[in-house]
Amino acid sequence: MTRNSYYITTPIYYPSDNLHIGHAYCTTVADSLARFHRTKGEDVFFLTGSDEHGLKIQRKAKEKGVTPIEYVDKIIANFKFLWKQLNISNNDFIRTSEERHHKVVQDTLQKIYDKGDIYKKNYEGLYCVPCESYWLERQLDENGCCPDCHRPVEKMQEESYFFKMSKYEEWWMSFIEENPDFIQPASRRNEMINFVKQGLEDLCITRTTFDWGVPVPFDSKHVVYVWFDALLNYLTGIKYGSDDAMFNKFWPASLHLVGKEIVRFHTIIWPIMLHAMGVEMPEKVYGHGWLVVDGDKMSKSKGNVIDPLALIDEFGADAIRYFLLREINLGSDGNFSRDALITRTNADLANDLGNLLHRTVSMIEKYHKGVVNDAGVSEAVDDELKTLAAATVENFIKDMDGMEINTAIKGVWAFISRANKYIDETAPWVLAKNPEKAARLETVMYNLAESLRIIAILVSPFIPSASPKIYTQLGLAVPEQFLLAEAKWGGLANGTKVAKGDPLYPRIEIAEDGSTIIGGKKYEPKVSAPAPAQEEPKFAMEPIKEEITFDVFEKMDLRVGKVIAAEKVKKSKKLLKLQVEIGPEVRTIVSGISQYYEPEAMIGKNVIVVANLAPAKLMGIESFGMLLAASDGQGNLVLADAPNMPSGARVK
Ligand code: ME8
């Protein structure tokens, strides 16, 4: 029996100060698959989240003089903001620091402990803090460093609990043999089999050297090792142990999509944990490749880390999504380049798709006052178009089911090209001059509009903001969910009235200085701002203003706000555009602090906002409120803040 539910997960991300395009890649792929399964009419649950515990986070928080939860909170707000900007349709966002997750981890540990699969022993080993992994001397690289990340390891000794992985080696081998599709692509399956053939060691699953983690229920000196904790998020997210109906509906997971470097954790440790717990196996783990930038691995020191938020701001979410999905073969490493992104966007989105819509709708308006009407005067070329439409839908489903996302996209664009060619072949402008061809012209226009209706459904998993716009221009009501069942020829009703709108995607022009011009707006090439000038303060106090009554003062509503995103306002030296969370709402506030605060440093900061100030436009951006700051009039400015207060709290 085929199930009508689909459960897809991304890895839960480590809270990283540097969001990069690699983060966006995995989530975009998962989102396109989730959306595809929704177009099949399936009940989809798409989970992503954050992996927040461990020594690394505890140390970073200490360095910054904040608690671990304060440190991660602001980073997670930034992640959530990115997913929103990227149009990610996750059903939930799980944080391992949440109570609901702690409960699942503790219950699981207790269960496996009671079964006798967890034991205590003294352990001495070489520990890699960034990877949160113990290594044996013989496993280190040629420089005596971590074999995964090649950074130095530290000698650590601690009393630890161990999970009896070795006990399940044979079970694992037979499970993998009986389920050849469990690990994908096949090359990664062979890697894993070779790894286990060398022998499985028991896994150290608790730590006493830090306390930022889930406490072990049967020994409170210990916290749970991050991977044992993290993997269980996939159960917490669908309410394992607290809502059987929900859990049974979505488990086993249809797909865990992960990066290639963490396939080992997901295909060896995870199935063995589940087996020890008596929980069914997930259906599939897929290890995708890595994204490199201009052929080079992304790294802070190389300065080639691409900030996805800046990219979305410039090119829009659809262009980024489309590029990542179209350009990269899922199982292999892929290259990100700005030039390639611009070329792809112009060719496929602005030209092929954008022009097809624009030409079609313009002609229907010009020739038929906007009304679509199939007069039934068909020619052979129409059959070719219709046959290709049906084959495109069929191949699209086959390719997406097989996770051949870029092949699926190529198929859809082949159909878009065919439809563009159909315009040239039928030459509607010639038909329009001949009254005897009036009925034929109507059919040609119908066929084009109908092609676009089907295209809108097919592109919805990849460029989700395009589909509603296409439907609207075609005069169709935008459905809550685009469905493949409706991608059958003939669904467009006669009498539908189209309505021309803005171009779907503006063409990206490149100016001589390397900046881009998109929809008439110029985007300067990114250069880092010089450090603020250090001057000797020569403070001269301004006279105090005239007295006001308490009633007047009380009219001012001051609130604590938390900055969740910040960017420089283009062409302005002074202004930063901020997204500020005030209780449940998020506001745009433009503030003249750019010379004093880098956008990155603003994220997570608590500020004081004049919350009931009438909106004002600054450099064309509407600003809803103002930040309070102290200024000495000599070029020094410090924002007023309220650390450790919840956003929305009143300032009196
Ligand atoms: O591994 N290209 O978290 P993470 C493609 N917390 N993918 C990339 C990438 C790049 N340049 N950089 C990172 C963890 N990723 C664990 C997961 S799951 C129970 C715990 C991908 O933040 C990476 O391959 O280091 C991985 O799949 C994901 O981002 C999260 O990486």
Q: With CA atoms as reference, report the closest residue to 320 among 590, 53, 32, 530.
A: 32
The per-residue pLDDT for 124 is: 82
- Contact status, residue 211 vs residue 205, Cβ threshold 8 Å: no
Q: In whole angstroms, what is the distance from residue 485 CA to residue 472 CA?
A: 20
Give the phi and the psi of residue 126 in degrees, each rounded to 5: -100, 120
Q: Is the CB of 163 under 6 A from ligand 1?
A: no
Q: Which amino acid is at 457?
A: I
pLDDT in tens, 503-545: 999 999 988 877 888 888 888 765 433 333 433 334 567 767 7
The per-residue pLDDT for 634 is: 66
- Tally of residues, the chain: 652
* CB-CB neighbours of 74 under 10 Å: 19
Judge whether residue 496 has pLDDT over 60: yes
Q: Mean per-residue pLDDT for 378-402?
A: 98
- Contact status, residue 86 vs residue 321, Cβ threshold 8 Å: yes
Q: Is the CB of 280 under 6 A from ligand 1?
A: no
Among 23, 133, 297, 329, say which to mutate for ligand 1: greatest number of ligand atoms within 8 Å of CB: 23
Judge whether residue 104 has pLDDT over 90: yes
The per-residue pLDDT for 540 is: 67
The per-residue pLDDT for 294 is: 79
Q: Mean per-residue pLDDT for 270-277?
A: 98
Which ligand 1 atom sits closest to the C-alpha of 258? 27
Maximum C-alpha span of the chain: 92
Give, as one character, the DSSP assignment of residue 501: -
The per-residue pLDDT for 527 is: 42
The per-residue pLDDT for 525 is: 60
More confident residue, 143 or 7: 7
Q: Mean per-residue pLDDT for 269-274?
A: 98
The band of 301, judged by pLDDT with boundaries at 50, 70 and 90, is low
More confident residue, 424 or 528: 424
**Which residue lies with its CA nearest to atom 19 of ligand 1?**
231
Q: Is the CB of 290 under 6 A from ligand 1?
A: yes
Which ligand 1 atom sits closest to the C-alpha of 260? 24
Q: Mean per-residue pLDDT for 90-106?
A: 98
Mean pLDDT, rounded, of the chain: 92
The per-residue pLDDT for 381 is: 97
pLDDT in tens, 333-379: 999 999 999 999 999 999 999 999 999 999 999 999 999 999 999 99
Q: What angle do CA 7, 12, 15 make, to 5 degrees?
A: 155
Q: Is the CB of 26 under 6 A from ligand 1?
A: yes
**Which residue lies with its CA nearest to atom 4 of ligand 1?**
13
The per-residue pLDDT for 444 is: 98
Q: With CA atoms as reference, report the closest residue to 93 among 182, 15, 40.
A: 15
Q: In whole angstroms, what is the distance from residue 412 CA to residue 443 CA?
A: 22
The per-residue pLDDT for 384 is: 97
The per-residue pLDDT for 632 is: 76
Q: Is the CB of 22 under 6 A from ligand 1?
A: yes
The per-residue pLDDT for 40 is: 98
Give, as one character, the DSSP assignment of residue 413: H
- Gap from CA of 592 to ligand 1 centroid (Å): 36
3-state SS, 133-161, equals EEECHHHCCCCCECCCCCCECEEEEEEEE
Q: Which amino acid is at 176?
A: I
pLDDT in tens, 209-250: 889 999 999 999 999 988 999 999 999 999 999 999 999 999
The per-residue pLDDT for 602 is: 85
The per-residue pLDDT for 536 is: 38
**Which residue lies with its CA nearest to atom 14 of ligand 1?**
13
The per-residue pLDDT for 534 is: 36
The per-residue pLDDT for 58 is: 93
Judge whether residue 272 has pLDDT over 60: yes
Judge whether residue 47 has pLDDT over 50: yes
* CB-CB neighbours of 369 under 10 Å: 9
The per-residue pLDDT for 529 is: 38
152 prior amide bond cis, ω within 30: no
Which segment of 2-6, 26-30, 71-75, 357-361 scores lowest on mean pLDDT? 2-6
- Contact status, residue 328 vs residue 334, Cβ threshold 8 Å: yes
pTM summary value: 0.79
3-state SS, 112-139, equals HHHHCCEEEEEEEEEEECCCCEEECHHH
Q: What is the side-by-side order of every strand in the sheet holding 508-510? A: 508-510, 516-518, 521-523
CA 645 to mean position of chain CA atoms: 29
- Contact status, residue 483 vs residue 397, Cβ threshold 8 Å: no
